[in-house]
Structure 1
Amino acid sequence: MDWASVAGLVLAVAGILVGHSLDGGRFASLVQPAAFAIVVVGTFGAVLLQSERRTFTRGLAMLRWVFVPPRGERQKLSREIALWSLSARRDGLLSLEQYMTKADPFVEKGLRLVVDGIHPDKVRSLLEHEINGYEFAQRQAARIWESAAGYAPTIGILGAVLGLIHVMENLSDPARLGSGIAVAFVSTVYGVGLANLFFYPVGNKLKAIVSDKVAQYEILTEVFYDLASGDHSRVVDERVASLLTHH
């Protein structure tokens, strides 16, 4: 669990609620299901309209990374790289096949290319293409949260206009004016609040996680290039040092 993310979200919401109460406001006045439905459903509907279904569902699934980030694998990878280097130097490149089972798909592909004796430059080229595809797909998925942040304030304004329309339709019934005005203003609060306190931070954090994973894959690409080239183990050790320090 990433407690920093949890604390950040709680602190942001608490700041709004405490400030609202200090000004004499009531928490109940901010609870407007109609406004919430307009902003949230409308926002995600707009995001789904602009996105492919696979991208949209992947982006929603990535939300858990904000609070439960992918397990750090740099230490594990550094140990595995050391084993690959030792095994390749002692028993030849074919011995690397034993490390392919249950490996990360990218690692498995890299090891397969090395074991198959593919030219080092071709290994690098193929893996860089793989990285580009992975990065594009993941960044597109993470971008749905930035898109949501862009749409939410505008849809909040739309909710405000709908609330005012409701008010104008019921000018002759004072008892119904309050709910219409509440929906009008709370919709704007929901739109701006969700955009700046949740959607934008989530999108930025997901992009940082993707960038970290891409950096690991780029170092692994150089490791596989070194193995395919038959470089001295000292070169591979430097790659391991880079993997451990650049994070």
Structure 2
Amino acid sequence: MDVLSLIGIILAFVAILGGNYLEGGHVGALLNGPAALIVLGGTLAAAFVQAPMSVFKRALSIISWIFFPPKVDLIGGINRVIGWSMTARKEGLLGLEAVADSEPDPYARKGLQLLVDGAEPEAIRSILEVDLYTQEGRDISAAKVFESMGGYAPTIGIIGAVMGLIHVMGNLADPSMLGSGIAVAFVATIYGVAFANLLLLPIANKLKAVVLRQSRYREMVLEGILSIAEGENPRSIELKLQGFMG
């Protein structure tokens, strides 16, 4: 579990609510149903219009990565590639067939199978790069759903604020109606800015970081497989792949 994400979200709400309390406010003042409906509903509606269904579904499926990101073990991956290269050096590329069959990572398994099949290095690079960039693009697009929602939320908060002020201006003759209108106006703005900057934008950036780390791992695997295909010795491959640890 990514403890830092959990701490960050908790700290964000503690800071906001704690600051409100120290200023003499109370939690009830920040709870406003109409404001929440305007901001959350409007933000989701904008995201629905922008994102295709497949992208939105992918965004929902990877949101758990904020707390439970896929494990990416670069050191372990390098050691596995070195093991493959030593097997290929001793037994030839056909010796990797059993390794390919037992490999749990689909991307690495596909590369190993291409080695076993005797594909040329350029063909291996072309095939694996298509997989790498397609998956990366798909996941980055999913992360951008939250980024776009982070852009819409403050603006929709302003729309809520304007609607609240319109309500206030229309009821100047009735002082009892002024309080609710002013509350919607200010709370909607708070909701829009807070959701964008404390949740949506950080979520988008965290997901992008996870996706890029996965892509770095796949690039490392790709370079390792190409080096094996070109007959490089295990020590040279290890020195090359260590550059991905930066």
Q: How many residues align?
A: 245
- Report matched runs for 1:58-73 at 5 Å: 58-73=58-73
| Aligned AA (2:53) | R
In structure 2, C-alpha distance between the alignment counterparts of 1:98 and 1:188, rounded to whole Å: 60
In structure 2, C-alpha distance between the alignment counterparts of 1:55 and 1:160, rounded to whole Å: 31
Alpha-carbon offset, residue 237 of structure 1: 2.1
Report sequence identity in percent: 43
Residue 149 of structure 1 pairs with residue 147 of structure 2: no
Residue 109 of structure 1 pairs with residue 110 of structure 2: yes
In structure 2, C-alpha distance between the alignment counterparts of 1:39 and 1:180, rounded to whole Å: 15
| Aligned AA (2:43) | T
Corresponding position of 1:128: 129
- Report matched runs for 1:167-206 at 5 Å: 167-206=168-207
| Aligned AA (1:127) | L
TM-score (norm 1): 0.92
Corresponding position of 1:208: 209
In structure 2, C-alpha distance between the alignment counterparts of 1:234 and 1:80, rounded to whole Å: 13
| Aligned AA (1:214) | S
Deviations along 1:148-205, whole A, 9 cap, x unmatched?
A: 1110000001111222233344445433332222111100000011111111111111
Q: Which runs of 5+ in 1 are unaligned?
A: none
Alpha-carbon offset, residue 108 of structure 1: 1.7
Q: Which runs of 5+ in 2 are unaligned?
A: none
Residue 88 of structure 1 pairs with residue 100 of structure 2: no
In structure 2, C-alpha distance between the alignment counterparts of 1:37 and 1:208, rounded to whole Å: 31
Compare 76-85 and 118-127 and name the one that shifted more: 76-85
Deviations along 1:195-233, whole A, 9 cap, x unmatched?
A: 111111111111111111111111111111011112212
In structure 2, C-alpha distance between the alignment counterparts of 1:43 and 1:121, rounded to whole Å: 45
CA contact 1:81–1:240 (8 Å) conserved in 2: no
- Counterpart of 1:15 in 2: which secondary structure? helix
Alpha-carbon offset, residue 235 of structure 1: 2.2
